[in-house]
Amino acid sequence: MKVSKRAFLTKLMLGLSVVALPLTVAGAGGVSSAGAASKTTISVAYAVNTTFDTTPLAVKWWGGIQKEFDAKYPQYSLKLVPISGGEPDFLTKLALLYHSSSTAPDVAQFPSTEIALYQSTGYLLNISPYLTGSSWFSQYPSVIANEGKIGGKIYAVSSGENNNGIYYDKAVLQKAGIALPWNPTTWADIITAAKAIKKAEPKVTPLWIDAGTSAGPNGAGYGALNLLAGSSTPTIQTASGKMVVSSPGLLQTFNFLHEVYSDGLGAPTSELFSPNNAPNIPSALYPKGTLGITIGANFLGGNWAKLVNFPYWSAASTAMGITGLPTSNGKSFASTLSGWDYGVSATTKSPKADMDLINVMQESTNLINADNWAGWVPPVKSDWTIPVYTNFAPPFNEEFGKLLVYSTELPSSSAYNTWVQGFEQATGTLAQTPSTTGAEAMASMKSYVTNQLGSSAVTTLP
Amino acid sequence: MVSAVASDTVTGPSVPELWKTRHDKERLQWGSFALLTPAFGLLAILFLIPMGFAVYLGLTNLTLVGPTAVKWGFTGLQNLTRLRSDTSFWQSLWVTGFFIGGSIVGVVVVGYGLASLLMRANSWMRVVVGGIVVIAWMMPAVTAGMTWYASTTQGGAFSVLTGLANTNFLDNWPVETVTIASVWSMTGFSMLVMGAALRNIPSEAIEAAIVENASSWQRFRLIVLPLLRPTMIAVVLLTALLTLANFSLIYIMTQGGPNGATNILPLYSYQQAFSYNNLAYGALIGNVMVLIATVFGVLYVRIASQRS
């Protein structure tokens, strides 16, 4: 078939038009992009799978922050850097991002136990000058405000805290003949109650306290480290930086665990050692009525909220009781304290924009949403009693706010990560081999930590 | 006379010279180095330089975070001295040895057993059983780890099948359980290789042995085993190499616990590098693994070249 020259040229022009149109549109977009490129872009890195109770809540919260920040500050553009995986994976990936100034996020959210490490590496900016006159930071209790303070300068600010207390199933305790409300004043009271539960209801696990290494370094903070915090010598790391590997407090802690596991009062190792988020297992057991007492973290109460659904348990507020963990001498309450903090990169080119972002994230609504959805106690003291927080998981949220003042911050150092591994191994041995005595557990911990850190980095307390 | 002969040798036809040249031995040709350069360059970029850097890192104080994450340097034999007295390392080496040894024995014995049974099985049985075993082998380590974790913890398939409802096999016998899981996941490979080798054994040799009234044990020991030996050695060495690198299975099932009972060298290296932030010490433990793998690798290459 012969095609005329004119028809050929017409077809050619049409064809070119079809190809050129999208290119033109794309080109126009490029111009628009070039316009956007003149904005200051800042990045924020965060854990998408571990901080919030569920990943969709994390996506929702961070998406809202991005939208709000971009609308409020049109001269900036916020780039989200979500980091997936469990907490150890997140920490590794974040540390690797910090290794290069080209990948270091301008702002990052990380656990409070990492602050000193990042600061000593030179990754964090001193943000003290930007906090002068801050409406939210001025309301932080000193224990939380000091979380990010090193050498008198502030390198990180808390977005929420985890502390611990005692949960108990009122029906289970009633059946065991324990008067309600139950307020143990000594560790012996807890053992006595657990024994009564075991006797009255053999199918119920009397006492849950995290043990073993499966939950990572934080597992101990939600479990047996609370006992150490309430012992006669709670020190983990001395002022000179040495790790305590033998002390009366450690022995008291291990002796308590020995009593729990040798008397069959603890949870089975299949649950304690579960790699599937062991510290959250009690929130699944209580609705089934198979657990009596738990020494556990504040987020367990929030797990039963409808929005979190881990699982949703509408009767939780009436079925469950809550109280503080007594110290060994019975004079006060005790708990560990650890939080998630925001820090600004030392290599950032726009600290003002970074602090504007932190201010948006710390606005009351955003802060409370984060604390509710992540299972944290708000760092702002006045938020502990406002309905939007207390009604999210009543009565747990309010009670843990009250208990926060009794909490002790966990150390932040490389040596602590090694120390806590030795501590968790010792608690795991006590749970798995109940014949192990408290002294034997402490000796094995001492041996492990000394072997890892060297004898010059450890010490014993009389 | 002597000189005449010598003169003939020098000036005469070159045929005797050709006879002197050995053609059954490899000769060095300098020109071949030019042709080998691209391959050597790739080897250097992809293996020698990274490996050399890893060896160097093992002798430094580099950490993941902390002051020496930025300002790090050579520390001589400090890490090696630490390694020598590191009881966790020696325990990890022992656990690794048990894991590899147990896996080798299990993979060879079960793989041979299945291969010889399937030789005698009818075709549909061969397809079904062989298919199941190969699927287990093809299964990603993540899936295999989760399957074995669920099966061996309290209330899992093992508890139900043995009637020991309250027994947690994984926590009570951790290293044995993960070794069995490793055998399970690699038997398909061994079964396929052994099956192919068994089919290559001449049936005349077996038939002659039967005519000579040799017992089945004698036939196995004196005919099958010698003929299978090269294949078995290859399976042993490859299983050793694959098991040494099997990080995922144990990480998913136990994360090296409880109390280091399953903390094989790859996990200990990871733990030091990323949990304790000691990147340099983790690299040193990785180098030890490379040394162990090299021994198995060299043995495998030597045996493979002997066979060829």
Query: B64, A95: Cβ pair inside 8 Å?
Result: yes
Neighbour count for residue A346 (Cβ, 10 Å): 18
Tell me what pLDDT residue B69 has.
87
Separation between Cα atoms, residue B180 and residue B176, nearest integer Å: 6
* B274 touches A at CB < 8 Å: yes
The answer to whether A320 and A399 are in contact (CB under 8 A) is no
Residue B306 vs residue B92, higher pLDDT: B92
Separation in Å, CA of A214 to nearest CA in chain B: 7
Separation in Å, CA of A33 to nearest CA in chain B: 36
Instruction: Cis check for the bond before A202: say yes or no (omega within 30 of 0).
Output: no
Categorize the per-residue pLDDT at B29 as very low, low, confident or very high, splitting at 50, 70 and 90.
confident
Residue B3 vs residue A198, higher pLDDT: A198
Write out pLDDT tens, residues A142-156. Answer: 999 999 999 899 999
Is pLDDT of A281 > 70?
yes
Write out pLDDT tens, residues A39-78. Answer: 899 999 999 998 999 999 999 999 999 999 999 999 999 9
Tell me what pLDDT residue A140 has.
94
Is pLDDT of B19 > 90?
no
Collect all residues of chain A within an 8 Å Cβ-Cβ radius of residue B86: 451-452
For strand A149-150 and strand A153-154, is the pairing parallel, antiparallel, or unpaired? antiparallel
For strand A107-111 and strand A40-47, is the pairing parallel, antiparallel, or unpaired? parallel
Separation between Cα atoms, residue B256 and residue B265, nearest integer Å: 10
Collect all residues of chain A within an 8 Å Cβ-Cβ radius of residue B254: 275
Residues 6+ apart with CB under 8 A from B166: A268, B154, B159
Separation between Cα atoms, residue B46 and residue B124, nearest integer Å: 46
| Mean pLDDT in residue range A3-16 | 47
Q: What are the Cα distances from residue A164, in Å, to A269, A401, A403?
A: 21, 10, 8
Categorize the per-residue pLDDT at A158 as very low, low, confident or very high, splitting at 50, 70 and 90.
very high
Write out pLDDT tens, residues A70-127. Answer: 999 999 999 999 999 888 889 999 999 999 889 999 999 999 999 998 998 999 999 9
Residues 6+ apart with CB under 8 A from B23: none
Separation between Cα atoms, residue B201 and residue A207, nearest integer Å: 63
The H or E element containing residue A37 is helix A5-37
Instruction: Cis check for the bond before A311: say yes or no (omega within 30 of 0).
Output: yes
Is pLDDT of B10 > 70?
no
Write out pLDDT tens, residues B129-169. Answer: 888 988 988 999 899 999 999 999 888 898 888 888 778 89
* A73 touches B at CB < 8 Å: no
Is pLDDT of A22 > 80?
no
Separation between Cα atoms, residue B200 and residue B198, nearest integer Å: 5
* A433 touches B at CB < 8 Å: no
**Weakest mean pLDDT among A14-18, A134-138, A278-282, B211-215:** A14-18
Top residue of B79, B170, B275, B281 to mutate, by most chain A CBs within 10 Å, is B275
Query: B65, A269: Cβ pair inside 8 Å?
Result: no
Query: B274, A88: Cβ pair inside 8 Å?
Result: yes
* B57 touches A at CB < 8 Å: no
Separation in Å, CA of A451 to nearest CA in chain B: 6
The answer to whether A164 and A210 are in contact (CB under 8 A) is no
Collect all residues of chain B within an 8 Å Cβ-Cβ radius of residue A98: 65
State the alpha helices, DSSP H only, in chain B. 2-11, 15-20, 31-43, 49-57, 78-84, 87-120, 123-138, 141-152, 157-162, 169-172, 174-199, 203-211, 216-219, 225-244, 247-253, 265-270, 279-307
Is pLDDT of B308 > 50?
yes
Query: B69, A121: Cβ pair inside 8 Å?
Result: yes
The answer to whether A299 and A53 are in contact (CB under 8 A) is yes
Tell me what pLDDT residue B266 has.
95
The answer to whether B110 and B184 are in contact (CB under 8 A) is no
Collect all residues of chain B within an 8 Å Cβ-Cβ radius of residue A417: 275-277
The answer to whether A377 and A371 are in contact (CB under 8 A) is yes
| Mean pLDDT in residue range A206-210 | 96
Nearest to residue A451, comparing CAs of A253, A249, A257, A243? A243
For strand A291-297 and strand A243-246, is the pairing parallel, antiparallel, or unpaired? unpaired
Half-sphere exposure of residue A209: CA atoms within 13 angstroms, side-chain side: 32
Separation in Å, CA of B166 to nearest CA in chain A: 9
Tell me what pLDDT residue B156 has.
86
Separation between Cα atoms, residue A309 and residue A162, nearest integer Å: 19
Neighbour count for residue A72 (Cβ, 10 Å): 13
Tell me what pLDDT residue A37 has.
54
User: Mean of the per-residue pLDDT values for chain A?
Assistant: 90
Separation between Cα atoms, residue B120 and residue A431, nearest integer Å: 49
* B259 touches A at CB < 8 Å: yes
B64 phi, psi to nearest 5 deg: -70, -45
User: Mean of the per-residue pLDDT values for chain B?
Assistant: 88
Neighbour count for residue A142 (Cβ, 10 Å): 8
DSSP 8-state secondary structure symbol assigned to residue A34: H
| Mean pLDDT in residue range A297-311 | 94
Q: What are the Cα distances from residue B303, in Å, to B199, B215, B260, B264?
A: 21, 30, 35, 27
DSSP 8-state secondary structure symbol assigned to residue B223: I
- Sheet-wide strand order for A164-169: A205-209, A291-297, A164-169, A320-323
Categorize the per-residue pLDDT at B22 as very low, low, confident or very high, splitting at 50, 70 and 90.
low
Is pLDDT of A14 > 60?
no
Tell me what pLDDT residue A270 has.
81
DSSP 8-state secondary structure symbol assigned to residue A124: B
Categorize the per-residue pLDDT at A20 as very low, low, confident or very high, splitting at 50, 70 and 90.
very low
Nearest to residue A346, comparing CAs of A122, A42, A180, A37? A122
Is pLDDT of A366 > 60?
yes
Tell me what pLDDT residue B23 has.
67
Write out pLDDT tens, residues B229-282. Answer: 889 998 999 999 999 988 999 999 988 888 889 999 999 999 999 888 899 999
DSSP A270-320: HHHT-TTTGGGHHHHHGGGT-EEEEEEETHHHHHTSTTT-SS--TTHHHHE
3-state SS, residue A243? strand
Which of B67, B171, B276 is nearest residue A270 as measured by Cβ atoms?
Answer: B171
Collect all residues of chain B within an 8 Å Cβ-Cβ radius of residue A241: none
Write out pLDDT tens, residues B33-50. Answer: 899 999 999 999 999 999
Categorize the per-residue pLDDT at B17 as very low, low, confident or very high, splitting at 50, 70 and 90.
low
Is pLDDT of A21 > 60?
no
Q: What are the Cα distances from residue B304, in Å, to B121, B181, B230, B298?
A: 31, 28, 8, 10
Q: What are the Cα distances from residue B267, in Å, to A274, B186, B256?
A: 18, 20, 6
Separation in Å, CA of B283 to nearest CA in chain A: 15
* B155 touches A at CB < 8 Å: yes
The answer to whether A213 and A421 are in contact (CB under 8 A) is yes
